[in-house]
Amino acid sequence: MIIKPKLHIKVKEAPTAETDHSKPPLKDIRKLSLEELKVFFVEQGEKAFRAKQVYEWLWKKSVTDFEQMTNLPVSLRMLMATHFTINPVTIAQEQISKDGTVKVGFRLYDGNLVEGVLIPTEDRMTACISSQVGCSLTCKFCATGYMERVRNLDPAEMYDQVVLIDRIARLTYQMPLTNIVYMGMGEPMLNYANVLKSTELITSSEGLGMAAKRITVSTAGIAKMIKKLGDDGVKFNLALSLHAANDVKRNQIMPINESNTLEALRDALKYFYQKTKNKVTFEYIVFNNFNDTLKDAEELYRFCKHLPAKVNIIEYNPIAEAEFTNAEEDKISKFAKYLEDRGIVVNIRRSRGKDIDAACGQLAIKERNKE
C-alpha cells in the first residue's frame, strides 16, 4: 500500500472579498440569531417585527442580496447593507455522471472549495454535503484525508449547499430533495456546534422544514461527541464509518482510532442509543486483502450485535493518493451473507458517479493540484 504525503491547501484570493483593506470586512448577517437580529433593529430605532421578515428572506427564501428583500423599505435595506453582508455559497463546477449523479464544487466567500453531490435513486433525492474545508483526520483511503483541514464551515454554508443541491434536483429531475447526508468533506463531529445549528435550520419551519429523520450525520468516530449527541437528544440519524472492527486494522487506516478505540466507540454508541433510541448505521468498505475475510465479518458481527444497527457496505471509489481497491464481488457477497445469517441487516451500496470523481475530496484535490 503506497501512501503519499499530505497536500497543503492553497487558499485563493476571495472573488468577493473586501478589497479595501483599511475597512474591516462586514459580518455576515446570517451569523445573527433571530433574537440578535431583533436587538439590532430595536437599537437602530426600527420595529422588532422586522427581524422576522428579514429572517424569512435570509433562510426560507435564501436571498443573496439585501436588494432582493422587496417588501422592506429601501431605508431598512440600506441600513442592513451598511452594517452587514451576505456571503452566499456559489456553484463553481457541476458535473453530471452517466448514472445521473451530480457532483458540485461549491465556492465559499473566501475562495475555498468544498464538494457536494446529488444522488438520485428510484425513490429518493439525496444531497451529500461537506462540513469542513479539508479534514484533520487523515484516513488513508479518503481523498479529503490527504488535504489539510483549513476551516470549519458555518451553518449558513452547510444550509446553502442543501438549497443549491435542491435547486439542481428540481431543475434536473423535477423532484425536491428527500434526504441529506453529511458525508462530504470533513468530520462533522469536529464542527459540532455549527453542524447541529445547520440541522436545526434545515428542519425548522423558518428554514426548509425537512424532517430530522431525513438527515444522516456520518462520523469517523469521536466517542465524546457521540455521547454529546445523545445528551443533546438529536433526532437525526447517525452513521459510523467503521471499515474495520479490529483496533489493529482500524488504526492502520483511520488514525483517529488510536485515541477513540472500538471499545470507547461501542460504549458511546450504546449511550447514544439509550438517550435517543436512534438506530446507528455502520459504514464498511470491504477493501481487497485488508478487511475482506470471514474473520473480519465475524469481528464486525461481534461489534454490532450489541446495538440495534444495520451495516451499509459501501463500494470504494479508488483515489490517486493511495492504492486501496474493492474486494471482489464474490467475497463481498459472502461477507454480507455471513452477517445476514446472524440477523444483521446489510445493504450493499453501489458507488455512484464513478466517471466524475464522485468520491469526496477528489474534485477539490484535483483543483488544488492544478494550482
Using CB under 6 A, count the residues that bind ligand SAM.
17
Amino acid type, 353:
G
**Part in contact with ligand SAM (CB under 6 A); list of ranges 40-48, 63-71, 139-147, 263-271:** 139-147
Please pick, among 56, 360, 367, 371, the residue that the annotation labels catalytic: 360
* Residue 5: count of CB within 10 angstroms of its CB: 7
Element (H, E) at 106: strand 102-107
Among residue numbers 204 through 263, which ones bind ligand SAM (CB under 6 A)?
A: 218-220, 241
Is residue 360 annotated as part of the catalytic site, yes or no?
yes
Query: Measured in Å, how far apart are the chain's first and last C-alpha atoms?
Result: 27
List all residues 6 or more positions away from 2 whose beta carbon is below 8 Å from its beta carbon: 322, 323
Dihedrals phi, psi of 100, to nearest 5 degrees? 95, -10
Q: Does residue 220 interact with ligand SF4 by CB under 6 A?
A: yes
Q: Does residue 9 interact with ligand SF4 by CB under 6 A?
A: no
Answer yes or no: is 241 a known binding residue: yes
Cell 466524475 belongs to: 356
Please pick, among 46, 115, 200, 371, the residue that the annotation labels catalytic: 115
Contact 137, 222 (CB under 8 A): no
Among residue numbers 46 through 85, which ones bind ligand SAM (CB under 6 A)?
A: none
Contact 130, 194 (CB under 8 A): no
**Part in contact with ligand SAM (CB under 6 A); list of ranges 37-45, 76-84, 138-146, 230-238:** 138-146
Q: Which three cell numbers stand for residue 142?
A: 479518503
Measured from the CB of residue 186, what is the shortest distance to ligand SF4 in angstroms?
Answer: 6
Q: Does residue 241 interact with ligand SF4 by CB under 6 A?
A: yes
Give the Cα-Cα-Cα angle 187, 204, 90 (nearest 5 degrees). 55
Q: How far is CA 335 from the centre of its chain?
A: 28
Q: Does residue 41 interact with ligand SAM by CB under 6 A?
A: no
Element (H, E) at 128: strand 125-128
Task: Select the residue interacting with ligand SAM from 154, 160, 166, 187 (CB under 6 A).
Answer: 187
Binding positions for S-adenosyl-L-methionine: 186-187, 218, 241-243, 317
Binding positions: 135, 139, 142, 186-187, 218, 241-243, 317
Interface ranges with ligand SAM (CB under 6 A) = 141-142, 144, 183, 187, 218-220, 241, 283, 285, 314, 316-317, 319, 359-360
